[in-house]
Amino acid sequence: MANMRRTITAILGGAALLLALPALSGATLNEVGVIGTTTPATVPSCPSSPCLAVSRTTGFQVKVGTATNILAAPREGTIVAWTITLGKPTSTQTKFFNSNEGGASEAGIAVLRPQKKPNLTYKLISQSPLVKLEPYFGKTAQFPLETTLQVKKGDIVALTVPTWAPALALGFENTTSWRASRPKASCSSTSAQTTQTSIGSNVQYYCLYRTARLTYSATLISTP
């Protein structure tokens, strides 16, 4: 990722919250799901071959090596921004995805709360607006939230992609995996829209994908 320029998309509301952090006695700033350094490096696959993208689903990282629950909020607080590292697909690759995955690349984040039953069920608590991603291809972009998202300890910060996003790093061991909101019989298909977007809905995240990593994270200010 060292060869990728970092782009900061500033929204005054989110920036103000970040600047106010020192005034909040006892508050701490955490990056949930740090993009960071891994072996191999966490670099989205595009434009290399294969150029794979996250498509028409809501998903979150389950494990990276020995690290688990990296997208779970470590404490109660407020999500004030999210960050995504994007590959730079060629014009031909972009045209293919636009034609086959429902349109132009876009994504947002969602707050999910694990439910006890049925197994692998998550309730959608809140979500951010969607962002058009093509202007940020080949970059790491951060999007402060004008309307912040409240989380409780253990809530999951997921990535919602109604079309496609070149935010998938490949080539890891089987100990690296992410989970998606697709039905059990549709783990190998992206033809159906499976994003979880209805607030209060419960969805089972059946599908587990190994050896790949979603390249996003979220910024959390904990409750003092």
Q: What is the pLDDT of residues 47-98, one digit of tens each?
A: 999 999 999 999 999 999 989 999 999 999 999 999 999 999 999 999 999 9
At position 68, the amino acid (one-letter code) is: T
CA 181 to chain centre: 13
CA distance 100 to 85: 22
Strands (E) located in the chain: 5-8, 29-32, 54-64, 67-68, 77-85, 106-115, 121-127, 131-132, 139-151, 156-165, 168-170, 177-180, 202-204, 207-210, 212-214, 216-222
> What is the average per-residue pLDDT within 12-24?
46
Instruction: Return d(Cα 149, Cα 53) in angstroms, integer.
Output: 26
The predicted model gives 117-121 an average pLDDT of 93
* pLDDT greater than 90 at residue 194: yes
H/E stretch holding 19: helix 12-20
Domain assignment of residue 66, given as a range: 5-222
The confidence band for 224, taking pLDDT boundaries of 50, 70 and 90, is confident
How many domains are there within the chain? 1
